[in-house]
Amino acid sequence: MSFLRGSANYVWCTTSVLGKGATGAVFQGVNKNNGEPVAVKTFNQISHMRPHDVQVREFEVLKKVKHENIVKLLAIEEEQEGRGKVIVMELCTGGSLFNILDDPENTYGLQEEEFLLVVEHLSAGMKHLRDNNLVHRDLKPGNIMKFISDDGTTIYKLTDFGAARELEEDQQFMSLYGTEEYLHPDMYERAVLKKPVGKTFGATVDLWSIGVTLYHVATGNLPFRPYGGRRNKETMYYITAKKASGVISGIQSTESGPIEWSKELPNNCQLSAGIKKLVTPLLGGLLEVDPQRIWNFERFFNEVTNILSRKLIHIFHVNNLQMIRVYLHPEETYDELQNLLTEQTDITPQNQILLLKEKPLLSIVEETTLGKGYPKFDEMEPIMLFSKENNNVNVILENDGPKFPSFQNTISVESDASLGKVACSVGHVCKRKIEKISKASKFCHNCVQSFTTAISNDLDRVVAKSEKLKEMTKYVERTVFSTVQADKATKALTDFMSIKYSDSNDNFKGNELSNEFSVLSRELLSELGPAIQQLHQRYGVEKTLKQEWVKLVKTLNCPMETRAPARARTLVERLRDSWQHLLRDRASRSLTYNDEQFHVLERIKVGETGKRLKNLLELECQPEITQLADALADWYKVAQTVYLQARILDKDVDAYEKCLEDFATKHSYYHKNSLFKLQETIEKLKNEILDLKGKKKPAKNETEYFQSFMNSLSDMIAIQNEISLYLKDNSSLVYEFQQLLRNLPLNNDQTDK
Amino acid sequence: MSFLRGSANYVWCTTSVLGKGATGAVFQGVNKNNGEPVAVKTFNQISHMRPHDVQVREFEVLKKVKHENIVKLLAIEEEQEGRGKVIVMELCTGGSLFNILDDPENTYGLQEEEFLLVVEHLSAGMKHLRDNNLVHRDLKPGNIMKFISDDGTTIYKLTDFGAARELEEDQQFMSLYGTEEYLHPDMYERAVLKKPVGKTFGATVDLWSIGVTLYHVATGNLPFRPYGGRRNKETMYYITAKKASGVISGIQSTESGPIEWSKELPNNCQLSAGIKKLVTPLLGGLLEVDPQRIWNFERFFNEVTNILSRKLIHIFHVNNLQMIRVYLHPEETYDELQNLLTEQTDITPQNQILLLKEKPLLSIVEETTLGKGYPKFDEMEPIMLFSKENNNVNVILENDGPKFPSFQNTISVESDASLGKVACSVGHVCKRKIEKISKASKFCHNCVQSFTTAISNDLDRVVAKSEKLKEMTKYVERTVFSTVQADKATKALTDFMSIKYSDSNDNFKGNELSNEFSVLSRELLSELGPAIQQLHQRYGVEKTLKQEWVKLVKTLNCPMETRAPARARTLVERLRDSWQHLLRDRASRSLTYNDEQFHVLERIKVGETGKRLKNLLELECQPEITQLADALADWYKVAQTVYLQARILDKDVDAYEKCLEDFATKHSYYHKNSLFKLQETIEKLKNEILDLKGKKKPAKNETEYFQSFMNSLSDMIAIQNEISLYLKDNSSLVYEFQQLLRNLPLNNDQTDK
C-alpha cells in the first residue's frame, strides 16, 4: 500500500499529517512544478455525507476571502483515484497557536510582543471576515496558524473554514459548531448539554471565542476551568453563564468546590502591568454573557486599534530595578506619561526624574509632544526613572515561582515525560528571571552613568549661569559706583556753590543703594558662587560620583558580564533535549534494556540540570543583583543629595538673577537722577562762571581750532561709550562735561593775551 | 546483543560513534552520576598489540597536559567485561574542524573571526605542548575540536594524543605518524613513499602540519593538490618538497599537467585583504622545506601574538562601497592607519577623509594615539572613508563566483547528494554577497548622514570663527579711527601752534593705515563673510545636502529594508533542508517508489530555490546597489564640492585672521606713536598757555573743590576705560586730557574775580 496521494499539481504522503478533524485531515504536500511545500486538506467519508450545500460552503467561503491574516487558498483540485476534492493552502511552518501554547516555553502564555501580534493579526483577519459578512464559528488557538514568511517575520492566519458561513451581523443561525472550551455559553448549553433551548445565535458568538482564545494566549490557560475539565460540563456551563460582568476567569480547584472568580489576569503571565491594564477590559468586554452589555465587533475593532496605536515606552524604575512598560495614547502627552508612571510606581509626577541616556526626557520630547510624535524607544535603552524623594533600592526577587519537579523512584514513561515538560516550563521561568536580572544589572550600571553625566551637565550649566551673573554684577557695580561718585561730585559742587536742592527722597541715595547692592552681591560672590564652584569641582570636574560607583562595584559580579543569560539558555536547551528524549521514550511505549538505562540517565540529567539552573538563579544571579542593589542604594543616597543641591543652587541662582534685575531696574532710575542732578549743577556752575567773567566775544580762529581739537577728543570718547551699553548713561555725563569744556572761560583767557 | 557498554562511572552505546581511527573509536557517553554527556575513547585489538610503552604513552601525555585549548581528560577507567582501559574526555559538541570544513557553508574556508579564533586557540594549545616538551605528530582539522561552552562561546581544543610523545625542541624521533596530506615532506617521503631515507624528524614537523591545517581552515581546501588526489603520491611529494620559499600552494589541475604555484591566498576565501597580508607570511614561514629558512616555534608564537594583538578597524570605502579591514599594530599610530588604507585603496593620506559617525576620526583619537589605545570598533558602525579627489562611486559586483549546478536527467542518489551540497555552497556564497550588499546599502545611507552632519558642523565652526573675526575687526577699526583722529588733532594743534616735528616716517600715517585696513577688512566683510554665510545658509541651515539625498533615493529600494538578507537566509535554509533530504536518500541506498517521487521533487525544489536566490541577488540586490551607487556618486559630486569650499573658506578665514593679527601688531606701534605725539603736543600747548598766563597762585578753596569734582569725573571715565582692554591706549590719552584739565587756566580765571 502506497502512502502517496496526488492531484493534478500537488503530491502528498499520508504519513505527513499536520492535523486531523471530524471531517478530514490536513497533510504536508508539495507542488509538483516547483517543489514548494503546501498544506493539503482532504475530506473523509463522514464529510461526504453532509448536505451538498454544506459541503461546498467551505470552498465558497475560501474563494471569497483574501487577506494576509487568513490562510491563502492555492487551489481546489480533484484527488487522483476519485477520492473527491482537496483544498490546497499555503503551509504555515510555525504550526498552530495550540502547538505553540503547548510548548513549555509558553506554559504561562506568550510574551507581550507576540501576544500583541496575535491580537493584531487575529482582529485584522476577523475584520476581513466581518467585512464579507462571514462568521467563522470555530475560532480557537488550533485554528490560528503561525506563518513564517521568507524574510523571517511572523504572520498569524485564521484557518479552517469548515464551520464558517455567510451571516449578516443581525442575522441568526441555528446549527451547532465549535470546540466546547471556546463556545459561547448559549451554544454550549445546546451543543454540549444537549438542552433543546431553541435559541438562535448571532455573529457575536465569534467574539466570545476570541475572548477565550486571547485569555488562553495571554496566560497559557483556559479562563473557565471546572474541576475535572471537560467531564464537568454542568459546572462549565455554570461558570460561563453565571459569571458576573467583568469577570474574566473562573476556576474550580476542588471537586464540587467553590469557583475562584477573577477580574484580573494572573500574576504569572508574561504580560506587563502596562498592557494588562488595556487588555483586561478587552477580555471583559468579549467574555460577556449579558446581551445588553456584550461588545459588538465595531467596539472590539476600535479597542484593538486603540491598544495597538499606543506608543510603547520602556522605563527602568531605579528604586526596585524593575522594567516598566507604559503604553502612551497617540493623542496624549508628557503629563499622562507621568500619571501612568505614578500608577505603576507611586512616584508622584513632581518627584519623577526621567532621563534618556544622559539627557532629561524633556530635552528629547516637549511637554506638549503627542504620544504619536514620540520617538521609537529601544527596550535595551530604557528611560531611567529616579525618585527625588526615595533613595532606597529594593530589588524584587520573585521567589514564588513554580519549583522543579522530582521524578518518582519507579520509571513511568507517561509521568516522566510530563515531569520533563514541567521541568522545561520551570526552566523557562528561571531563564526569564535570569535574563531579567541580567538586564536589570546592566541598567543599574547605565542609570549610574546617565545620572552622573546628567548631574555633571547640570552643574556645568549652573556654573555658566553664575559666571554670567558675576559679569552682570560687575557692570551693575560700576553704575552704582558711578551714582555714588556723581552724588559725591554734586554734593561737593553744591556745597561749594551753596545751592540747596529741595530735599526729595530721590536725591543722594547713592550710598544707601551702594550698601543695598553690597548685601545683594555678597550673596552671589561669597555664598552662592563658591558653593556652586565647590559642587562643580567635586561632581563635575573630579567625577567623584563615578569614582564612588567604581569603588562600590569593584568586587561585584554583573550577570551580564558572567554571561548568565547565555548559560541559562544552554541549560534550558539541555532540559528541552532531555524532555524530547523522554517524549520519544513515551512514544515508543516499551523500552529495551538499553533504552531504559539511558531513560534513567536522562531523568538524572533533568534533575542535575534543573539544580544547576536553580543555583544559577538563586545562588549566583539573585545574590549578585541584591549586592548591586545595595551598592546602588549607597550610591544614590549621595547622588540624590548632589542632584538636589544642584537643583537648589540652580534655583538660588535664578532667584539672585531676579533680584539683580530688580535692583538694576530700580537703580537705573536713581542713576539717571544722580546724573541729571550733576548735569544741572554743572549748568549752574557754568552760568555762574560766565556771569563772573562777563561775556566776551572769543577770538574767532583760536576758538575754532580748539573746538576742533575738543571734537576730536569727544569723538574718541564717543567710541569708548559705544562699546558699553551698560554705561550709556555715563556718556551723557561725559557729553555734559564736553559741553562744559567748550564753554569754559579758556577762550576768554586767550582773548586776554 | 546489547550495544550498551560501561565503566565504573560512565556508560555509552556503541551506536553513538563520534569517530573511528586505526587504534580505536570514540563514542558519546554519559556520566552515570549526573547525566553529563562525555566522549569515551576505546581501544581495539590492533592497539593492544603495540609495545606497552607506546600504549601507555597516550595516557601519560593526557595526564600531563592541562590547558583550556586541549580536550580535558575526565577519567581513565577500566571497561566492564574486561575490554581494557577507556579514556573519558569532555565532549566537544561542535564536532571537529574537519566536520566544520565539510559543511557547504565553509566550502571556501571559515569566516575571518572564526579563522582567527582557530589561530589563537591552536597556537595556545601548541604552546602548552611545547612548554611540556611534547610533540603531537598528528595535527590536522580532524584533531581540532570545537567546544561550545555553557555560555555559548566557542573554544577550539587539540585532541587525539595517540601519536604524541615527549620531545625536546632539539631532539629527533624516528617513528612515523600523522595523516598524509598534513605531513612534512620528509616524513611523507618515508611514510607514504616508503623511501628508506634514514632521516630523523624534529618537533618542527608539527609546524608544517599547522601550516597545512591553517591553509585548509582559511580556504576550505588543501594547499598541495596533485591531480587525482591521494593516489598521485609522487607529485604530492614533488609539490611539497620542491616548492620555492614563500609558495603556499601548488595545484595540478590536469593529469601530469603543470603545477600552479601561488604565494597568495585565493580570492574566493573569506579573509579580508587586511588579514591576508598578515597571514600569508605566516603560512609561508610554516610551509617551508628549507631547514635554514624554516620557522621555529618561538617565531611562530611571536608572529601569532603580533597578529592577534593588532586592533581591528572597520572602514567603509565610499568610492566602491566595500568594507575594508585594517589591523593596526598596537604600537603604531594614525599615520600607519592611513598608510594601510592607501595600500588597500590607492587614496593617499592627504586625500583621505575619515569620519566615525559624524565626527572626524581625529576628534576621537589623536595623531599620536597608539593602536592599543584605539577604542573597540563595531563592524556595523565602520569608519567612513571618503576621497577628497575622487567623487566616483563604482560598486564591485563580484559576478565571477560559482554557479548553481543542474541535476542530470536520471536519478543518482550519489551525484544528487553531491550536487545538492554544491547548491548549498553556492547558496551560501550568494547569501554572503546579499548580506554584503545589504550592509553596503545601509552604510551608503549612513555615510551620507555622516558627511552631511560633518559638513554642517564644519560650516557652523567656520561661521563662528568669522563672526569672532568680525568683532575683532570692529575693535581694530576703532583703534585705527582713534589713530586717525589723534593724528588729525595733533595736526590741528601743531598747525595752530606752528610746531613742526622732525619728519619721521612714523608720523601721521593714520590715513595710510586706514586705507590699508579698509582693503584688508573689505576681504572679510564683503567677500569672505558673505560667501561663508551663503554656504552655511544652504548646507548648514537649510540642509540642502540631506534633501538632495532624500530626493535621489526616494524611489530606490534598500536591500536592508526589503529584508533581503533574511530572505536569503530562508532560501539557504531551504537548500540545506533539501540537501539533507538528498543525503538521507543517499544513505538509504535504494529508494521506494514514494521516496523516489519525493526525491525528484526535492531536486526540483533545489533548482527552484537556487533560481530564486540567484534572482534575489542578480535581479534585485545588485541592481538596487548599483542604483544606490549612482545616486551616491551624484550626491557626492555636490557634497565633495561643498566640503572643499568649506575647507577653502576655513583656510581663507585663518589666513585673514593672520593678516588681521599682523596688521593689529603693526598698527599698535603707530597708534601708540600717534597718541604719544598728541600727548606731547598737549603738553606743549599747556606750557604755552601757562607761559601766556604767567604763574598765579590759585585761590585755595575753589581750586580744591574743583579738583575734587574733576577727580570724580575722571573716576567715572576710568571706569569706562576699564571695560575695554582694546582701547586701553586711549585711556592714557583721556588721562592726559584730564591732566590738562586740571592744569587749565580755569583756576586763574577764578582768581581774576
Note the pLDDT of residue A748: 35
Cα within 13 Å of Cα(B205), Cβ side = 35
Q: Do A492 and B33 touch (CB under 8 A)?
A: no
Kind plus residue range of the DSSP H or E element containing A440: helix A413-497
Amino acid, single-letter form, for residue B220 = G
Q: Answer yes or no: are the C-beta atoms of B41 and B25 closer than 8 Å.
A: yes
| Average pLDDT of the residues in A122-146 | 89
Note the pLDDT of residue A477: 78
Pairwise CA distance, residues B642 & B535, whole Å? 8
Query: In this prediction, what percent of chain A has a pLDDT beyond 70?
Result: 82
User: A642 lies in a domain?
Assistant: yes
A36 has a chain B CB within 8 A of its CB: yes
Q: Is residue B732 pLDDT above 60, yes or no?
A: no
Q: Do A737 and B566 touch (CB under 8 A)?
A: no
User: A460 lies in a domain?
Assistant: yes
Q: Is residue A80 pLDDT above 60, yes or no?
A: yes
Pairwise CA distance, residues A659 & A475, whole Å? 15
Lowest-pLDDT range, A95-109, A657-671, B161-175, B209-223? B161-175
Note the pLDDT of residue B517: 87
A734 has a chain B CB within 8 A of its CB: yes
User: A72 lies in a domain?
Assistant: yes
- Chain A residues lying within 8 Å of B407, measured CB to CB: none
pLDDT (tens digit per residue) in A362-421: 988 999 999 999 999 899 999 999 999 998 999 888 777 889 999 888 888 889 999 999
Pairwise CA distance, residues A632 & A644, whole Å? 17
- Picking from A11, A152, A601, the nearest residue to B566 by CB comes out as A152
- Chain A residues lying within 8 Å of B36, measured CB to CB: 605, 608
> Which grid coordinates are listed for A159?
484557518
Pairwise CA distance, residues A248 & A279, whole Å? 11
Pairwise CA distance, residues B697 & A581, whole Å? 125
- Chain A residues lying within 8 Å of B722, measured CB to CB: 478
Of A52, A73, A90, the one marking the end of a domain is: A90
**CATH number of the domain encompassing residue A268:** 1.10.510.10
Average pLDDT, chain B: 82
- Picking from A709, A720, A752, the nearest residue to B720 by CB comes out as A720
Residues A291 and A142 in one domain: yes
Query: At CA A180, angle to CA A176 and CA A185, rounded to 5?
Result: 75
Q: Do B34 and A605 touch (CB under 8 A)?
A: yes
Lowest-pLDDT range, A297-301, A482-486, B324-328, B365-369? A482-486
A718 has a chain B CB within 8 A of its CB: no
Q: Is residue A354 pLDDT above 90, yes or no?
A: yes
Other beta carbons less than 10 A from residue A262's beta carbon: 15
Residues A541 and A554 in one domain: yes
Q: Is residue A318 pLDDT above 60, yes or no?
A: yes
Give me the number of domains chain A comprises: 4
pLDDT (tens digit per residue) in A543-598: 888 999 999 998 888 888 888 999 999 999 999 999 999 999 998 878 888 888 88
Other beta carbons less than 10 A from residue B623's beta carbon: 13
> Regarding predicted confidence, which is higher, B589 or A694?
B589
Q: Do A478 and B719 touch (CB under 8 A)?
A: yes
In this structure, what are the phi and psi dihedrals at residue A25, rounded to the nearest 5 degrees? -140, 160
The whole-angstrom distance between B700's CA and the closest CA on chain A is 12
Residues B710 and B586 in one domain: yes
Residue of B nearest to A562 (CA): B151
Residue B554 burial (C-beta neighbours within 10 Å; 0-12, 13-18, 19+): exposed
Other beta carbons less than 10 A from residue A528's beta carbon: 20
Note the pLDDT of residue B728: 36
The whole-angstrom distance between A9's CA and the closest CA on chain B is 12
* CB contact burial B661-697 (16+ within 10 A = b; e otherwise): eebbeebeebbebbbbbbbbbbeebbeebeeebeeee
Q: Is residue B614 pLDDT above 80, yes or no?
A: yes
State the pairing for strand pair B4-6/B24-31.
unpaired
| Average pLDDT of the residues in B334-358 | 93
> What residue numbers bound the domain in which A194 lies?
95-306
Amino acid, single-letter form, for residue A446 = N
State the pairing for strand pair A134-135/B24-31.
unpaired
Note the pLDDT of residue A562: 84
Q: Is residue B749 pLDDT above 80, yes or no?
A: no
Of B296, B21, B266, nearest to B161 (Cα)? B21
Residue of B nearest to A744 (CA): B746
Catalytic residue, from A138, A186, A487, A585: name it: A138
Does the ipTM surpass 0.90?
A: no
Note the pLDDT of residue B509: 72
The whole-angstrom distance between B477's CA and the closest CA on chain A is 11
* CB contact burial A66-82 (16+ within 10 A = b; e otherwise): ebebbbbbbebbebeee
pLDDT (tens digit per residue) in B63-112: 888 999 999 999 999 888 777 889 999 999 999 999 999 999 999 999 99
Note the pLDDT of residue A751: 34
The whole-angstrom distance between B746's CA and the closest CA on chain A is 7
Read off the pLDDT band of B21 (50, 70, 90). Answer: confident
Q: Is residue B171 pLDDT above 50, yes or no?
A: yes
User: A438 lies in a domain?
Assistant: no
Lowest-pLDDT range, A56-70, A361-375, A523-537, B482-496? B482-496
- Chain A residues lying within 8 Å of B568, measured CB to CB: none
Q: Is residue B444 pLDDT above 50, yes or no?
A: yes
> Regarding predicted confidence, which is higher, B430 or A130?
B430
Lowest-pLDDT range, A641-650, B173-182, B290-299? B173-182
- Chain B residues lying within 8 Å of A40, measured CB to CB: none
Residues B99 and B153 in one domain: yes
Residues A234 and A178 in one domain: yes
Query: In this prediction, what percent of chain B has a pLDDT beyond 90?
Result: 43
Note the pLDDT of residue B443: 94
Residues A185 and A42 in one domain: no
Q: Is residue B435 pLDDT above 50, yes or no?
A: yes
Q: Answer yes or no: are the C-beta atoms of B88 and B196 closer than 8 Å.
A: no
Read off the pLDDT band of B582 (50, 70, 90). Answer: very high
Other beta carbons less than 10 A from residue A493's beta carbon: 22
A41 annotated as ligand-binding:
yes
B688 has a chain A CB within 8 A of its CB: no
In A159-178, the residues whose Cβ lies within 8 Å of chain B are: none
Q: Is residue B700 pLDDT above 60, yes or no?
A: no
Note the pLDDT of residue A196: 65
Lowest-pLDDT range, A117-121, B175-179, B634-638? B175-179
Note the pLDDT of residue B433: 94
**CATH number of the domain encompassing residue A363:** 3.10.20.90
Residue B410, SS3 per DSSP: coil
| Average pLDDT of the residues in B458-463 | 90
> Regarding predicted confidence, which is higher, A625 or A750?
A625
Read off the pLDDT band of B408 (50, 70, 90). Answer: confident
Read off the pLDDT band of A486 (50, 70, 90). Answer: low
Read off the pLDDT band of A176 (50, 70, 90). Answer: low
Q: Answer yes or no: are the C-beta atoms of A558 and A640 closer than 8 Å.
A: no
pLDDT (tens digit per residue) in B480-489: 776 776 677 6
- Chain A residues lying within 8 Å of B689, measured CB to CB: 749
**CATH number of the domain encompassing residue B736:** 1.20.1270.420
User: B410 lies in a domain?
Assistant: no
* CB contact burial B260-271 (16+ within 10 A = b; e otherwise): eeeeebbebbbb
The pTM of the full predicted model, rounded to 2 decimals, is 0.81
Q: Do B597 and A749 touch (CB under 8 A)?
A: no
Read off the pLDDT band of A742 (50, 70, 90). Answer: very low
Note the pLDDT of residue B730: 43
- Chain A residues lying within 8 Å of B702, measured CB to CB: 496
B721 has a chain A CB within 8 A of its CB: yes
User: A296 lies in a domain?
Assistant: yes
A696 has a chain B CB within 8 A of its CB: no
B570 has a chain A CB within 8 A of its CB: yes
Average pLDDT, chain A: 82
Note the pLDDT of residue B704: 47
Lowest-pLDDT range, A6-10, B123-127, B556-560? B556-560
Residue B235, SS3 per DSSP: helix
Q: Do A608 and B30 touch (CB under 8 A)?
A: no
Pairwise CA distance, residues B9 & A361, whole Å? 60
Pairwise CA distance, residues B311 & B271, whole Å? 16
Lowest-pLDDT range, A402-406, B37-41, B493-497, B639-643? B493-497
Q: Is residue A458 pLDDT above 60, yes or no?
A: yes
- Chain A residues lying within 8 Å of B752, measured CB to CB: 693
Beta strands across the sheet bearing B322-328? B322-328, B311-317, B383-387, B352-356, B359-360
- Chain A residues lying within 8 Å of B745, measured CB to CB: 745-746, 749
Q: Do A150 and B567 touch (CB under 8 A)?
A: yes
Q: Is residue B20 pLDDT above 80, yes or no?
A: yes
pLDDT (tens digit per residue) in A231-278: 888 888 888 888 888 899 999 989 888 999 999 999 989 999 999 999
**CATH number of the domain encompassing residue A52:** 3.30.200.20
Residues A213 and A135 in one domain: yes
Lowest-pLDDT range, A409-413, A440-444, A629-633, B613-617? A409-413
User: B208 lies in a domain?
Assistant: yes
Q: How many CB pairs lie under 8 A apart between chains A and B?
A: 212
In B362-391, the residues whose Cβ lies within 8 Å of chain A are: none
State the pairing for strand pair B311-317/B322-328.
antiparallel
Note the pLDDT of residue B569: 95
Query: Catalytic site residue B160?
Result: no
Catalytic residue, from B138, B186, B206, B652: name it: B138
The whole-angstrom distance between A612's CA and the closest CA on chain B is 11
B501 has a chain A CB within 8 A of its CB: no
Of B306, B329, B363, the one marking the end of a domain is: B306
Pairwise CA distance, residues A322 & A340, whole Å? 15
User: B491 lies in a domain?
Assistant: yes
Q: Do A151 and B566 touch (CB under 8 A)?
A: yes
Residues A298 and A319 in one domain: no
The whole-angstrom distance between B716's CA and the closest CA on chain A is 6
Note the pLDDT of residue B442: 93
Residues A463 and A535 in one domain: yes
Read off the pLDDT band of A696 (50, 70, 90). Answer: very low
Residues B354 and B235 in one domain: no
A601 has a chain B CB within 8 A of its CB: yes
In this structure, what are the phi and psi dihedrals at residue B560, rounded to the nearest 5 degrees? -70, -40
Note the pLDDT of residue A172: 61
Of A387, A406, A429, the one marking the end of a domain is: A387
Q: Do B567 and A485 touch (CB under 8 A)?
A: no
State the pairing for strand pair A24-31/A37-43.
antiparallel
Pairwise CA distance, residues A748 & B5, whole Å? 135
Residues B471 and B368 in one domain: no
Kind plus residue range of the DSSP H or E element containing B718: helix B700-722
B499 has a chain A CB within 8 A of its CB: no
B256 conformational bin, left if phi > 0, alpha if psi -120 to 50, beta if neither: left
Kind plus residue range of the DSSP H or E element containing B135: strand B134-135
Q: Answer yes or no: are the C-beta atoms of B4 and A594 closer than 8 Å.
A: yes
B567 has a chain A CB within 8 A of its CB: yes
Residues A86 and A102 in one domain: no
Q: Do B598 and A13 touch (CB under 8 A)?
A: yes
> Regarding predicted confidence, which is higher, A198 or A419?
A419
> Regarding predicted confidence, which is higher, A715 or A532?
A532
A474 has a chain B CB within 8 A of its CB: no
Note the pLDDT of residue A43: 86
